[in-house]
Amino acid sequence: MKDRTKYFAYPYVLWMIIFIALPSFLVLLYSITTKESNGLTTIQFTLENYKKFFDPLYLNILWDSIYLAAISTVICLLIGYPAAFIISNTNLSKRNTLLFLCIMPMWMNMLLRTYAWMTILGNNGILNNLFSLIGLPKLNMLYTKGATIMGMVYNFLPFMILPIYTALSKMDKALLEAADDLGADKKTVFIKVILPLSMPGVISGIIMVFMPAVSTFIIPQLLGGNKNMMIGNLVEKLFILNGDWNFGSAISIVMMVIILISMSIMNKFDVDKEGGARLW
Amino acid sequence: MVKKYLSKIYMGIIFIFLYAPIVVLAVFSFNESKSRGHWTGFTLKWYVDLFHDRDIRLAFYYTISIAIISAIISTIIGTIAAIGINSMKGKAKSLILNVNYLPVVNPDIVTGISLMILYIAFNMDFGFNTMLISHIVFNIPYVILCILPKLKQLDVHMTEAAMDLGATPMYALRKVIIPEIKPGIVTGFLMAFTLSIDDFIISYFTKGEGVTNLSIVIYSMARRGVRPTINALSTIMLSVVLILMILINKRTNGMEKAKKLKEKR
């Protein structure tokens, strides 16, 4: 029976070759050919598209993306670690509710959640109205880098809380008692036992926040305005407006490589040894 | 004791941070005035406006029909593929699982543009079909990931017993395997449906002339600023996803409870 059901996977293998492998290959092909290549006869290979990336204009965009994503990741870590710690220390009945409340926003449309902040941060928005009520001057908050960071922290915070929580809840509590029995005070227990044991979760969290943050184009577009471009906006612009697919593909390949490297780092520190099916 | 209150306050602040913007969005979809900072009175006119807007009605039609069709097709393909993958072994299996995982880990924007390039290479017209295929492409991996754990729990001896008692392999599949993994299939379907109505980025790159979905409409409107009709539309979409999520969560919780009961016995 088992031998025969194996063939059930074959149609999907064909599907994957057409719709997953082939498109990735085409992106790679575009990234190493010139714009003038129209068919197999006129194909011309080049590394120009990757070199273009080192133009200061584009390096700046790349640097900005990494910088904004990194700051958001650090803020998420600082806010998220205590939250994960608190959740892992509540009793079981409450814990599931708290977790569900953390997961819930991850399933709501990112576009809508980002748009929600436009209502709050805008010049006539809620915050500015509150400020004028208590006599403060209006602040220009929307369409700034700060707004972009805000949007990223808001959208990706759950991705930080969950892996850290998983690491903390899987920790062997006997180790804490042992440390306590051997005379360590609470601070020492935290620094010498809890923190090192939760490191796999922290690393997963950092990658799971950094990856979507560095590649997003909705958040900088809606909250950062046109001035603050990120790498995702650049790809969108190259494909939709400029039609420079070769350069756009090269950037996509760079993004893909970054993601794959991050994924393999994450797999090394995998908290869930049960396997790949991590949907949350 | 103080510590307990502090952690309660901390979690309270986190949840306010996570949910307040959504609540604000929903509340202001009922606000009379167009300028969004002030509350001037309750109205449903923005919702009424939605139903009169032809573009939004059309986008709604496309969103729902693509979600239903793509969820059905990806559930069927995903179920068959999962059964096949489950009985594979070794390198071939891990290779397939890794490729299957690619659309899940890839940034949506990369999946979007690579599919767009594929359709152009095949000379396909952009429109309903391209968007539908794209949704199936990113839905199947999630369906498979929902069903595989159920297949792992499946007792191999059950199918063997069925066949020893004279069932053909197909009969055993229909009468033993499918009923056993049904909860995974239903969860996979719900998840595919949710992901499809929620998707923006991949649809954005594979949409065609006159064929859009609600997220794309919201994006193009939001680029020009805040409007109460977007709030109304967002509120409807968020409520639908909220209901679906609670359904999925109830299902998985129920499944876990059933499993625990089984183990206890």
Query: In this complex, do B140 and A11 lie within 8 Å of one another by their Cβ atoms?
Result: no
**Domain membership flag for residue B32:** no
> Residue B32 CB: number of other CB atoms within 10 A?
13
Question: What is d(CA A245, CA B116) in angstroms, rounded to the nearest whole number?
Answer: 11
pLDDT (0 to 100) of residue A93: 80
Query: In this complex, do B201 and A218 lie within 8 Å of one another by their Cβ atoms?
Result: yes
pLDDT (0 to 100) of residue B263: 53
DSSP string, B26-89: HHGGGBSSSSTTS---B--HHHHHHHH-HHHHHHHHHHHHHHHHHHHHHHHHHHHHHHHHHT--
The minimal CB distance from B223 to the residues A1, A221, A263 is found for A221
A&B contacts, CB < 8 Å: 226
For residue B100, the chain A residues in CB contact (below 8 A) are: 16, 20
Which CATH number belongs to the domain containing residue B177 in this structure?
A: 1.10.3720.10
Contact A206, A77 (CB under 8 A): yes
**Domain membership flag for residue B28:** no
Is the pLDDT reported for residue A109 higher than 50? Answer: yes
List all residues 6 or more positions away from B81 whose beta carbon is below 8 Å from its beta carbon.
Answer: A8, A9, A11, A12, A15, B140, B144
User: Tokens standing for B220?
Assistant: 């193009």
- Mutation pick from B7, B8, B14 vs chain A, by most beta carbons of A within 10 Å, is B14
Rg, Å, chain B Cα set: 23
CA distance B265 to chain A (A): 22
Query: In this complex, do B219 and A116 lie within 8 Å of one another by their Cβ atoms?
Result: no
Question: Which of A85-99, A117-131, B137-151, B160-174: highest mean pLDDT?
Answer: B137-151
Q: Does A16 touch chain B (CB under 8 A)?
A: yes
Query: In this complex, do B87 and A108 lie within 8 Å of one another by their Cβ atoms?
Result: no
List all residues 6 or more positions away from B115 whose beta carbon is below 8 Å from its beta carbon.
Answer: A19, A23, B130, B133, B134, B137, B202, B205, B206
For residue A128, the chain B residues in CB contact (below 8 A) are: 37
Mind listing the pLDDT tens digit for each residue in A53-64? 888 988 898 888
DSSP string, chain B: -HHHHHHHHHHHHHHHHHHHHHHHHHHGGGBSSSSTTS---B--HHHHHHHH-HHHHHHHHHHHHHHHHHHHHHHHHHHHHHHHHHT--HHHHHHHHHHHHHHHHS-HHHHHHHHHHHHHHTTPPPSHHHHHHHHHHHHHHHHHHHHHHHHHHS-HHHHHHHHHTT--HHHHIIIIIHHHHHHHHHHHHHHHHHHHHH--HHHHHH-BTTB--HHHHHHHHHTT---HHHHHHHHHHHHHHHHHHHHHHHHHHHHHHHHHHHHH-
Q: Does A245 touch chain B (CB under 8 A)?
A: yes
For residue A222, the chain B residues in CB contact (below 8 A) are: 222-223
Contact A228, B75 (CB under 8 A): no
pLDDT (0 to 100) of residue A279: 37
**Domain membership flag for residue B21:** no
**Domain membership flag for residue B38:** no
pLDDT (0 to 100) of residue B111: 93
- Going through chain A in order, the beta strands assigned E by DSSP cover none
pLDDT (0 to 100) of residue B202: 94
Query: In this complex, do A9 and B116 lie within 8 Å of one another by their Cβ atoms?
Result: no
pLDDT (0 to 100) of residue A183: 84
Which domain does B116 fall in, by range? 50-264
CA distances, A224 to each of A73, A106, A203, A219 (Å): 17, 21, 28, 7
Mind listing the pLDDT tens digit for each residue in A177-228? 888 888 888 888 888 888 888 998 898 899 889 988 988 888 998 898 877 7
Question: In chain B, which residues have pLDDT < 70?
Answer: 1, 35-37, 253-265
The minimal CB distance from B100 to the residues A16, A218, A239 is found for A16
For residue B103, the chain A residues in CB contact (below 8 A) are: 20
**Domain membership flag for residue B29:** no
Buried b (16+ CB within 10 A) or exposed e, A178-195: ebeeeebeeeebeeebbe
pLDDT (0 to 100) of residue A275: 41
Buried b (16+ CB within 10 A) or exposed e, A236-274: bebbeeeeebbbbbbbbbebbebbeebbeebeeeebeee
pLDDT (0 to 100) of residue B265: 47
Averaged confidence pLDDT in chain A: 85
**Domain membership flag for residue B244:** yes
Is the pLDDT reported for residue A280 higher than 50? Answer: no
pLDDT (0 to 100) of residue B66: 96
**Domain membership flag for residue B11:** no
Question: What is d(CA B136, CA B78) in angstroms, rounded to the nearest whole number?
Answer: 10
User: Tokens standing for B46?
Assistant: 């923005």
Q: How many domains does chain B have?
A: 1
- Tokens 């063939």 identify what position? A7
Contact B144, B187 (CB under 8 A): no
Question: What is d(CA A218, CA B202) in angstroms, rounded to the nearest whole number?
Answer: 12
Query: In this complex, do A107 and B17 lie within 8 Å of one another by their Cβ atoms?
Result: no
Question: What is d(CA A58, CA A79) in angstroms, rounded to the nearest whole number?
Answer: 32
